Chain A
Amino acid sequence: MAAEVVAAVGGMTVEQIAASQLGMKALGAGIAVGLTGIGTGVAEMGIGSAAVGAVAENKDMFGLALLFTVIPETIVIFGLVVALLLLFV
């Protein structure tokens, strides 16, 4: 009852509040994945170009180059984890 009264003051019903909370969660999840994706992309940009250069010089560098290139991948994975936790937990 009290919740409904408070909600009514804000001009929203309980259902509306629940729906908007869900929307906020989805927004948060989207922002988490999107921004971390950009972060990873920016970080991998420099490493990737340098890595391709190194591999062109010496093919044996491939493993190491791949390793360096995927290190920032962790950032977007963290974003994905946060998004999943937001949506499902």
Chain B
Amino acid sequence: MLKPKPMSRLLIAASRDQLAPVIAELYRHNLFHIEEYVDAGAEGYEGFKIGTPLSGASEKSADLIKIRAITSAVSLSADDVDKKPSCSMDELQTKIERELPLLEREVEELTVRRSKLDAREKELEQKIIELTPFADIPVDLNLYHGYKRFTTIAGYLSREVILNVPHEMHIAKGEGKNFIVVVYPTERRSEVEKTLQEAGFQSVPIPNESGSPKGRIEFYTGEIAALKKEILAISTQLEDVKKKHASFLVACEELLKAEVDQTEAPLRFATTKQTFVAEGWVPTDQVTTVTNSLIRAAEGKIFVTVVPTDPEHDSVPVKYNNPDFAKPTEVLMDVYSRPGYSEVDPTLMIAIVFPLFFGLILGDVGYGLILLIMAYGLRKFLKGEGGRQLLDVLRNASISTIFFGIIFSEFLGFPIPGWNPVLYSRHLMSEGGGHGPNIPELMVLSIWIGILHLTLGRILGMYNHAKQDHGHHRTLAIMANFGWLAVMWGILIAIWSTAAVPLMPNLTGLPVLATIPPVGFGLNVGHATGLVLLLAGIIFIARESVLEVIELPTIVSHVLSYARIVAVGLSSVAIAMVVNFMSITMFIEPQLKNLSVVGVIIILVGVVVFVIGHALNTALGILGGGLHSIRLHYVEFFTKFYKGGGRKYIPFGMKRRFTEE
């Protein structure tokens, strides 16, 4: 918790004939993050070379490529399939040998035919486009060609033109510009071209066809329809292949991927003629398990040891170590950056604080329920791991939304009947004796959240610097973080001593030390303390880096930024209330008093307004609640302590879904 999983660096050395069993064993465990061997003459690795793949690697890769070509042609992904294939692994193996080539040929033939038909369709469409302008000219298409002394041109003209050359001209009026066809004696070409060019003529190629233009267009349209039918038939055939072989294909892909991964693993190891050495990372608590099973697999003819590491210089892969409820939040961390191995992993804090912020912003039982249903309903469509995690985050956020909805007594913008808001109300209108909104209190509450969140961030910053830095720089960095805290709290104490703020300590009554004569302003103990903290803080910050001092105003802007929790929340309440007012008070209620046919239609309009309005507000609520909460973490919280940039832990192996060992 709050720390990535401890890792140990494992070194495995054995004779080359143990390669296959060792790799199989490592793959089965799915725990060993291989540190790839680079042939750069590292110390202790003189004379080693990068290994060569195990036998059968190229055949397996070729099969895998075939499978992938088929799955991409029928657009099949492993997430679309739920059930395992009914046959055993041996049967699957023989099926790959027997059926795969046939299936590949079938799919390839179909796709090749489909792309040929697609190309032909495009060609015909182009022809129709070329023919269309000629459709309004009552001239047969074979009359455009085959003259020795005459030239035909066609094109668009935006204004009228008079040619001083003997000619024949056809005009089809269009919007803005006219389409013209001109036949003129070839020897007068330059004159004609000049006149036309001056009139802004855009030439169009004359299609090399015969017959009436309209007839040709009809003919091509008919052909395109036939092509479309054929393409559709091929697509249905491909769809049939997909349906029939889906589970076989995904299982094959998984099986072959596992085999290819294993046969190609030696490419990442260091080898000599007789031996190989593999280095990698294993979670410290799994070291014994992995070691023992490796020794068993190699019948004792293997050397496995833990190599001492230095977490600062070795880039240790990072595996999250969180309790189950915080695991979905890892997706939000990865969007920003994975934590480094030696820094605090804030996933757990986000897992708690993010839903709280989301709930405080949206805070409505109705919307919470809608989101909860969405979080479960969308599971059918989002099957990838990242999608699942996001939906889990949404589920936690929606539960928090329902909780705060009860606190604020809100249901789709209505107050919950017979239930008054606990603590503070966000009801913008105080109709029917309810209370109006407690804006100042809510505002101060959100500022308090900001102050505490930022203080936590700075404390984590101090902790991180204490862990990661050394010597003089370490002291300076810790002091600078303390300085930022001192400035913030100094300003706060000075404010509390100057004016009474609701929900905050009132220090105006402290003994006065001095009075500034012209304004009669009493400087009390609080002011003095605040000033001392402020100055000390600035000095601490400047000692680390003088330039940082210009960042001081961000203290105020970052704290005030938390006011968005209330501000965005109130705006969503306001939208909900407006929707309710429009649909119910304006459309539905007046009609219910004396029902008529027109009245029923107006009521229906009111219902539509209600549904669309609340759908829109739900979407805005997800955006507002989600984006603003995560932004408060990314921008305000993380900038205080978080560096990130950790390397992802990718163990050698896979989670098998369709096949067995």
Give residues in A with beta carbon < 8 Å to B.
62-64, 66-67, 70-71, 73-74, 77-78, 80-81, 84-85, 88-89
Contacts of A84 in B (CB 8 A): 439, 443, 566-567, 570
Contact between B567 and A88 (Cβ–Cβ < 8 Å)? no
Chain A's nearest CB lies how many Å from the CB of B33? 19
Chain B's nearest CB lies how many Å from the CB of A61? 10
Given known pairs A63-B335, A71-B635, A73-B631, the reply for A89 and B440 (CB within 8 Å) is yes
Choose from A62, A63, A70, A81 the contact partner of B443 (Cβ within 8 Å).
A81
CA distance A84 to B634 in the complex (A): 26
Contact between B634 and A85 (Cβ–Cβ < 8 Å)? no
Contact between B564 and A77 (Cβ–Cβ < 8 Å)? yes
Contact between A77 and B437 (Cβ–Cβ < 8 Å)? no
> Is B493 among interface residues, defined by CB-CB distance under 8 A?
no
CA distance A64 to B631 in the complex (A): 11
Contacts of B212 in A (CB 8 A): none
Contacts of B627 in A (CB 8 A): 66, 70
> Is B164 among interface residues, defined by CB-CB distance under 8 A?
no
CA distance A63 to B439 in the complex (A): 33
Give residues in B with beta carbon < 8 Å to A.
335-337, 436-437, 439-440, 443, 557, 560-561, 563-564, 566-568, 570-571, 627-628, 631, 634-635
CA distance A62 to B634 in the complex (A): 12
The 15 listed contacts between A and B (C-beta, < 8 Å) are: A66-B335, A66-B631, A70-B635, A73-B628, A74-B564, A77-B561, A77-B568, A78-B560, A80-B564, A80-B570, A81-B563, A84-B443, A85-B439, A85-B440, A89-B440
Chain A's nearest CB lies how many Å from the CB of B569? 10
Chain A's nearest CB lies how many Å from the CB of B115? 27
Extra pairs beyond A67-B336, A89-B439 (20, CB < 8 Å): A63-B335, A63-B336, A63-B337, A64-B336, A67-B631, A67-B635, A70-B627, A71-B635, A73-B564, A73-B628, A74-B557, A74-B560, A77-B561, A77-B564, A77-B567, A81-B566, A84-B566, A84-B570, A85-B439, A88-B440
Which one of B336, B567, B631, B634 has the highest number of Cβ atoms from chain A below 10 Å of its Cβ? B567
Contacts of A80 in B (CB 8 A): 564, 567-568, 570-571
CA distance A81 to B450 in the complex (A): 15
A67 nearest CB neighbor, chain B only: B634
Contact between A62 and B439 (Cβ–Cβ < 8 Å)? no
Chain A's nearest CB lies how many Å from the CB of B430? 11
Contacts of A74 in B (CB 8 A): 557, 560-561, 564
Chain B's nearest CB lies how many Å from the CB of A6? 29
Chain B's nearest CB lies how many Å from the CB of A54? 14
Contact between A70 and B631 (Cβ–Cβ < 8 Å)? yes
Interface of B is mostly: helix
What 8 pairs between A and B have smallest CB-CB spacing? A63-B336, A63-B335, A80-B567, A88-B439, A77-B564, A67-B634, A81-B563, A70-B631
Contacts of B336 in A (CB 8 A): 63-64, 67
Contacts of A71 in B (CB 8 A): 635
Contact between B635 and A88 (Cβ–Cβ < 8 Å)? no
Chain A's nearest CB lies how many Å from the CB of B403? 24
Which one of A63, A67, A78, A84 has the highest number of Cβ atoms from chain B below 10 Å of its Cβ? A84
B628 nearest CB neighbor, chain A only: A73
Choose from B337, B443, B561, B571 the contact partner of A85 (Cβ within 8 Å).
B443
B334 nearest CB neighbor, chain A only: A63
Contact between A81 and B560 (Cβ–Cβ < 8 Å)? yes
Choose from B557, B567, B570, B634 the contact partner of A66 (Cβ within 8 Å).
B634
CA distance A74 to B627 in the complex (A): 12
Contacts of B571 in A (CB 8 A): 80
CA distance A80 to B568 in the complex (A): 8
Chain B's nearest CB lies how many Å from the CB of A60? 9
Chain A's nearest CB lies how many Å from the CB of B104? 31
Chain A's nearest CB lies how many Å from the CB of B427? 11
CA distance A84 to B574 in the complex (A): 11
CA distance A57 to B486 in the complex (A): 41
Contacts of A73 in B (CB 8 A): 564, 628, 631
Contacts of B566 in A (CB 8 A): 81, 84
B565 nearest CB neighbor, chain A only: A77
Contacts of B631 in A (CB 8 A): 66-67, 70, 73
Contacts of A88 in B (CB 8 A): 436-437, 439-440
CA distance A84 to B560 in the complex (A): 14
A33 nearest CB neighbor, chain B only: B571
CA distance A36 to B366 in the complex (A): 31
CA distance A71 to B570 in the complex (A): 21
Contacts of B567 in A (CB 8 A): 77, 80-81, 84
Contact between B557 and A63 (Cβ–Cβ < 8 Å)? no
CA distance A66 to B517 in the complex (A): 51
B558 nearest CB neighbor, chain A only: A74
Contacts of B563 in A (CB 8 A): 77-78, 81
CA distance A70 to B624 in the complex (A): 12
A70 nearest CB neighbor, chain B only: B631
Contacts of B557 in A (CB 8 A): 74
CA distance A75 to B315 in the complex (A): 39
Contacts of A89 in B (CB 8 A): 439-440
Contacts of A85 in B (CB 8 A): 439-440, 443
B333 nearest CB neighbor, chain A only: A63
Contacts of A78 in B (CB 8 A): 560, 563
CA distance A28 to B246 in the complex (A): 63
Contact between A63 and B560 (Cβ–Cβ < 8 Å)? no
